[in-house]
Every structure is written in C-alpha cells, then in structure tokens.
Structure 1
Amino acid sequence: MTGEDDKALLHRIAAALERLAPPADKPVDWATGNAFLWDRRGPRAIAPFDPVDIDLLTGIDQQKARLLDNTSRHASGHAAHDVLLWGSRGMGKSALAKSVIRAVQRQGEDMALVEASSDQLENLPALFEMLAAVDRRFILFIDDIGFAEGSAEPRLLRSMLEGGTSQRPANVRLYVTSNRRHILSRQMNEQDDPINPRDAVDDQLALSDRFGLRLGFHAASQDDYLAIIARYAAAYDLMFERENALLWAKQRGSRSGRVAWQYIVELAGRAGRSLA
C-alpha cells in the first residue's frame, strides 16, 4: 500500500468516526427557555416545561399561597427567601415547586427553573458563576435532598445559603425538598460521635435554619385524599366512586396526592382515555 493509500484510508476512518460520534451539545442560552437541567453532562434546556397546573394542586392551599408569593417577589426583584419544602412523600412538594414557577412565567415574569440533583452540590459554584452573569431571575430546584454519613455536603450547602465563598448570587434562590424537616442523614445516630454526640445532629439542624421559609406537607386525611381525586376528576371529565377510590388507597397503604393521581391514571385507562 502506498503513502497515498494510507492517507485515504485514514481519512475514511476519521470520517466514519465523525459519523458515529454524537453531535456536540449546543451551548445553553440561559436568557431564553423556561427550564434547565444541571447534571454531570453540564447544563441543557428542558423542553417542554409543562408541570401540573397549580390550580389542580389540592389540600395544600396555605403552602401554595406562600410559595407563590415568595416566587413572585423574587421574579420581581424584591427580597425573597430560600425555601425548604419538607414532609410526607407524595404530597406535592416537587409538583408545587415547579408549578409556581410556571404560574409566575404565565404572568409574564422573566424567570426560569434550574433543576440539579443533590449529588451535584460540589459543582454548583460553577453553575452560580454562569447564572450570576445573566440578567434574569432563577430558582435552583434540588429534589429529595439527603446526605450520607460524614458528608461535607451539609456545610457546602450552608455556605451557599448564607455568607460562604460559594454563596448563591442575588438573582438565584434555592428551593429544596426533603422528607425530613431537619434534613438529617438517613442513618443519623447521636451515638456516632463519642466526644459530643449532639455535634453531628446540630450541624445538620443548622442547615435547616438557613432557609428563610420552611413549608411542611403532612399526610392527607381521607377527606383531603378524596378532594384531590375530585379536583383531578373534574379537570379530566372522569367519574369515580368514593368506595373504589378509598379501596385504591387502602391497597397501597397510603393516602397522598401521588396515590390520588395514580388512581386518576387508572380511571382514564379504564375509560380508554388519554391524559396527555
């Protein structure tokens, strides 16, 4: 094989590799778009951003009103809190955090959601640097946060919330969900520290204190559960029987907004309907 043949072969190999390689991600334009995701791959837009309509969220009226007010303040450039949404699983913490942002966007405010996973906290300072340079308001949403034993992440998050070198910029507020009010690690044991057994606990309690607004979500009563189903059923023109709805919850050992929505999905499926 001649040198020219070698070059031609290499060119063909290079061209084949280029065809196999995935296209490079387009740079994210933080100034446009309603929602973004920040993970190990870096930032990318979420489209479409279509969370549940805020008016459909039932049984959490006080939490809804307070979070909507706080979000509207931030969108308008007024003083606003970082928020911890804590409490029972399936009671609308994540849904509400996203729905209030969409509601504010529909009011004409220039605001966007940035969702980050709780295992990416060490990379958030780089994200903050990007967002600080954008003339726009953002909510950084971290869902279902929890920490491993001995993790440095609670102190890192505290630094972001109040006064540290990695503090979040003025145009960003954090909305964080947790199943626990004080964001303790799942195996927290006061006896883990033989010198001062309260230190490990107090360190993580101090993290909760950094959130200016803390909203609790409690398990649904039977009436709340049925009211949630009734609201969804009316919105999607579905009929339901009270006893059947209660049996659905009993079989799952839980009454919550999530279980209510799963029942609505079941009703739509039985009726040969789509919820899209």
Structure 2
Amino acid sequence: MADFDQFITRLEQLVTRVETLLPPARAAVDWSATAFRWRVGASGAGFLQAVKHPHYVDLDALKNIETQKDSIVRNTRQFVTGRQANNVLLTGARGTGKSTLVKAAWTAFANEGLKIIEVDKTDLLHLADIVDLVGERPEKFIIFCDDLSFEEGEISYKALKSVLDGSISAPTANMLFYATSNRRHLLPQKMRDNLDVVSYEDGEVRPNDSIEEKVSLSERFGLWLSFYPFSQDDYLAAAHHWVTELGGAWGDNARDAALLWHRTRGARSGRVAWQFAKDYVGRHQN
C-alpha cells in the first residue's frame, strides 16, 4: 500500500511538471463583440478581452481635420471592401483628434463587420500571437495602438517592424495597424544623429546606420496623417459645436469663457474645446 501511495505521489509530481511545460489554454473569445483589448495575464499569456461598452464616435463630431478624415475613411473603406489598403500612422500636436479619428473611422464601418483591437505599447511583443489568433478569422480587424513611441533601449518596436513588414510570414489580408504618436518617427532622434562625426561618445561608428534604424519603423506605415495645433477660429468652432451638442447655449458669454479657458490651459485643440464645453454646460445647466 505504501508503494502504491508513493507511486501516486510521484505521478502527481510528474503531471505537475508536464503542465508547467505546456502552453496555457487560451480563454474563449467572444467573437460577436465589435471591440477588444489585448490583455496579459499573471502567467504572461495574452488573450483578447471583449470591450463591454465601446466608445463609438461620429465622424461629423470631429472638426477642422477634414483632410485627415477623408484620407483615413478612404483607406478604411478600401480595407473593408477587400481592396488594397495601408497601415496608418497619425502624428502631430496633442489633443487634435488623432485617437478619436481612429475610433470614428472604425465606428463608420462597425456595422459592416469591422472590428478593432486595442494593444498597449508594452504588449507589442505579443503581436505575433495576435496575428496567429485572428489571421484566419473571416472578420476584418484594425489593430490600434495609441500614443506609440519608444525610448532608448526599448526593443518592442522590433516586433512591430516585423509584423508590419519584414516577417517571414506573409501579411494577413484581414488586418491593418493604426497607430497614433506625438513623435514623427516614433523613436527618439538626437542632435548628434545629424552630426558628421567619426564616432559617438557611446561607441557608434556609423551614425547613418543609427538614423536608418530610427526612420525605418515609421516608413513601414504606408499612410501618414499629420495634425497641427488649432487656430483660434478652429478652436472656437470646436467649442461652439460641443457646447451646443451638450445642450448648452452659444453666445458672447460662452465665446469669452472659451477664450479664457484656452488661455489658462496654454493650448488650443479639440480636446481643450471638449473639456471647456463640459465645464461650461455643466455649470450652466438648471
């Protein structure tokens, strides 16, 4: 009996060791959802989590970026209808609608089966897993990474480069990558990169190679959309829209308050206009 108990104990230990070597089972995905986030569990395994309350955005609510709207809507329509389309990089001034425009472009085609997957920058090393998971699905997916930029020493951008263009695997036809960033080339560029020097203080002998490495990531996005700070008229137009959209009254008092608001914030943008409208309407509601 003692030998049998010892055998059972050793068998349980063997099973435990084997289980640690096996890949973790993936959680079931609710493919009926329209929006997902890529999450990483305590074990380090990633999974798709359906978003319970997606943020749908009406394209008409975005003001002063008509050229950018036309470009991303055209590209997204090409993608949804099975035609050739590009990965998109949206860069420029903060608060000017980059992230909101991505959500609005997805919203415009959500009823046609387009889905969106939000991936945090820190989880880009899992991109190959995401491609394997959704690459054979019949739906179309936008992989969305907000506020994408990399600091010195970060290596996750290499995974992104590989997925966009450069992997041994062929690009999947049901997936595009849309990213926003305040940096034009995503990686930090230093003044010394442009100096005609023999060697860097950190040992870099061929500065051109360093520059090529930093530019090559952004060049993997076929469509670049640039965003610029609002003029005062653009800002007031956005503030007017949001005040009336939220049920408030626009007049001289609202205009003066909007001007004072952006001066105290030191910026003019769609985000500042939206924040002003919420404050103004909230204070004047009965």
Give the TM-score normalised by the residue count of structure 1: 0.83
Letter in 1 for 2:243: A
CA distance in structure 2 between the partners assigned to 1:74 and 1:123 by the alignment: 23
State the shift of 1:147 in Å.
Answer: 1.2
Among 52, 62, 68, the alignment partner of 1:63 is 68
Among 220, 234, 250, the alignment partner of 2:263 is 250
CA distance in structure 2 between the partners assigned to 1:79 and 1:213 by the alignment: 12
What is the match of residue 93 of structure 2?
A: 88
Matches within 5 A, 1:83-232: 83-105=88-110, 108-165=111-168, 168-185=171-188, 190=193, 191=200, 194-232=204-242
CA distance in structure 2 between the partners assigned to 1:121 and 1:76 by the alignment: 27
Does the CA-based 8 Å contact 2:69-2:101 persist in structure 1?
yes
State the shift of 1:200 in Å.
Answer: 2.2
Q: Which segment drifts farther, 153-162 or 92-101?
A: 153-162
Residues 1:26 and 1:199: Cα distance change in structure 2 (over 3 Å): closer
Does the CA-based 8 Å contact 1:159-1:166 persist in structure 2?
no
State the shift of 1:141 in Å.
Answer: 0.1
User: Which deviations, in whole Å up to 9, do the C-alpha atoms of 1:89-142 show, x marking residues without a partner?
Assistant: 10000000011101112xx31110000001111111111101012111000000
What value does the CA root-mean-square deviation take over the aligned residues?
2.1
Give the TM-score normalised by the residue count of structure 2: 0.80
CA distance in structure 1 between the partners assigned to 2:147 and 2:169 by the alignment: 22
CA distance in structure 1 between the partners assigned to 2:100 and 2:116 by the alignment: 13
State the shift of 1:180 in Å.
Answer: 1.4
Residues 1:132 and 1:62: Cα distance change in structure 2 (over 3 Å): same
Structure 2 unaligned blocks of 5 or more = 1-25, 42-46, 194-199
What is the match of residue 15 of structure 1?
A: none
State the shift of 1:187 in Å.
Answer: 6.7
Q: Provide the identity percentage.
A: 38
Letter in 2 for 1:195: V
Letter in 2 for 1:63: Q
What is the match of residue 78 of structure 2?
A: 73
CA distance in structure 1 between the partners assigned to 2:244 and 2:53 by the alignment: 25
Does the CA-based 8 Å contact 1:188-1:201 persist in structure 2?
no
Among 249, 254, 257, the alignment partner of 1:239 is 249
Provide the secondary structure at the position in 2 that maps to 1:194. Answer: coil
How many residues are paired up? 247
User: Which deviations, in whole Å up to 9, do the C-alpha atoms of 1:222-271 show, x marking residues without a partner?
Assistant: 11111111121232221242221011000011111111110011012202
State the shift of 1:52 in Å.
Answer: 2.7
Provide the secondary structure at the position in 2 that maps to 1:254. Answer: coil
1:37 to 2:40 alignment:
no
Does the CA-based 8 Å contact 1:184-1:201 persist in structure 2?
no
CA distance in structure 2 between the partners assigned to 1:125 and 1:117 by the alignment: 14
What is the match of residue 269 of structure 1?
A: 282
Does the CA-based 8 Å contact 2:127-2:159 persist in structure 1?
no
Q: Which segment drifts farther, 80-89 or 159-168?
A: 159-168
CA distance in structure 2 between the partners assigned to 1:198 and 1:150 by the alignment: 18
Structure 1 unaligned blocks of 5 or more = 1-24
What is the match of residue 21 of structure 2?
A: none
